[in-house]
């Protein structure tokens, strides 16, 4: 237990154990390191897992260290995720824990207190005036892949940019600010396709519908938000990925419920990557 910005976090996980677990999947996926980060005198390997397929889904998780559920879902349920994807011909590129020192410390940022989220792109809103996010959907002159940011962001951004954009992309986060077990999501693409996922989640945990979640954003009736926040999800939307989302569960949601919600969206995104609407037969 400990406190981050006045909020309680409940998990403290040893990244050495986590890394051992990820490496143990070498028989199921191509497990490799896309980089290392040095934090507090320790070198942390950054893992990428690849399972080939005809179409591609990118899964990212662990940008924020006090949001452990996504990295844990991927570590605990990877075999069934891979089996589901393989059955649908979908390849996976998985970045399960992007900020290892934050994950280990249970802190939002990395051990150097840098903020490894967003910072994928910048918007030029007027000549020479660049912004990291847009409020609403205003016109802008152009966007550009950003080249700065914390070491974890640079590492994963560089690796993601080496590959062609996938058919779908899901970034798994948590919300450490809102009270009570709940879920909502930031999405781009046809919202109708996400409604079966929201309905499946609603059987497990409250969906935050028409709720103000922070100073910028209010969810719609399905618990969905569109926000050009400069994140990996925003970047993939700009690259033309038709299905891109950032999934949230509150950090007070029981871990088993977070796993269930995360798996509903992961399977749904495998379906979308395969060209199938969730809830419809393949």
The three-state secondary structure class of 99 is coil
Q: Does 108 bind Zn ion (CB under 5 A)?
A: no
Task: Kindly tell me which of 175 and 271 has the beta carbon lying closer to Zn ion.
Answer: 175
Q: How many helices (H) and strands (E) does the chain have?
A: 7, 14
Task: Kindly tell me which of 64 and 111 has the beta carbon lying closer to Zn ion.
Answer: 64
First to last CA, the chain: 44
Among the listed residues 114, 96, 94, 107, the one whose alpha carbon sits nearest the alpha carbon of residue 38: 114
Q: Does 64 bind Zn ion (CB under 5 A)?
A: yes
Residues 25-44 that bind Zn ion (CB under 5 A): none
CB-based contacts of 81, cutoff 8 Å, min separation 6: 74, 92, 263, 266, 267, 270
Task: Kindly tell me which of 67 and 229 has the beta carbon lying closer to Zn ion.
Answer: 67
Of the ranges 36-44, 63-71, 143-151, 179-187, which one interacts with Zn ion (CB under 5 A)? 63-71
Rg (CA), the chain: 18
Of the ranges 22-30, 97-105, 148-156, 167-175, which one interacts with Zn ion (CB under 5 A)? 167-175
Q: Which two tokens stand for residue 23?
A: 């490496």
Of the ranges 5-13, 133-141, 171-179, 267-275, which one interacts with Zn ion (CB under 5 A)? 171-179
Q: How far is the CB of 171 from Zn ion (least distance, A)?
A: 9
Q: How far is the CB of 270 from Zn ion (least distance, A)?
A: 22
Q: How far is the CB of 5 from Zn ion (least distance, A)?
A: 13
Q: How far apart are CA 240 and CA 230, in angstroms?
A: 15
Q: What angle do CA 55, 60, 63 make, to 5 degrees?
A: 165
Q: Does 173 bind Zn ion (CB under 5 A)?
A: yes
Q: Which helix (H) or strand (E) holds 125?
A: strand 121-126
Task: Kindly tell me which of 88 and 157 has the beta carbon lying closer to Zn ion.
Answer: 157
Of the ranges 39-47, 57-65, 218-226, 270-278, which one interacts with Zn ion (CB under 5 A)? 57-65
Applying CB under 5 A, the residues found at the interface with Zn ion are: 64, 67, 173
């Amino acid at each position: 237990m400990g406190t981050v910005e006045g909020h309680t976090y409940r998990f403290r996980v040893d990244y050495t154990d986590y890394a051992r677990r990820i490496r143990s999947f070498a028989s199921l996926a191509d497990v490799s390191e896309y980089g290392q980060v040095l934090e507090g005198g320790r070198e942390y390997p950054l893992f990428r897992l690849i399972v080939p397929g005809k179409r591609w889904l990118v899964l990212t998780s662990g940008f924020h260290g006090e949001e452990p559920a996504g990295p844990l879902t991927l570590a605990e349920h990877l075999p069934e995720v891979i089996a589901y994807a393989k059955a649908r011909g979908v390849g996976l590129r998985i970045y399960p824990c992007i900020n290892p020192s934050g994950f280990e410390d249970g802190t939002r940022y990395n051990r150097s207190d840098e903020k490894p989220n967003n910072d994928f792109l910048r918007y030029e809103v007027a000549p020479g005036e660049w912004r990291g996010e847009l409020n609403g959907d205003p016109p802008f002159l152009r966007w550009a892949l950003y080249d700065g940011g914390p070491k974890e962001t640079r590492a994963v951004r560089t690796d993601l940019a080496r590959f062609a954009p996938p058919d779908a992309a899901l970034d798994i986060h948590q919300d450490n600010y809102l009270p009570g077990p709940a879920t909502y999501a930031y999405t781009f693409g046809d919202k109708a396709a996400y409604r079966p996922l929201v309905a499946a989640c609603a059987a497990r945990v409250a969906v935050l519908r028409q709720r103000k979640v922070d100073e910028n954003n209010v969810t719609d009736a399905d618990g969905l938000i569109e926000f050009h926040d400069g994140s990996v999800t925003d970047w993939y939307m700009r690259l033309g990925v038709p299905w891109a989302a950032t999934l949230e569960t509150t950090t007070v949601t029981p871990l088993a419920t977070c796993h269930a919600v995360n798996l509903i969206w992961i399977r749904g995104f495998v379906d979308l990557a395969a060209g199938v609407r969730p809830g419809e037969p393949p």
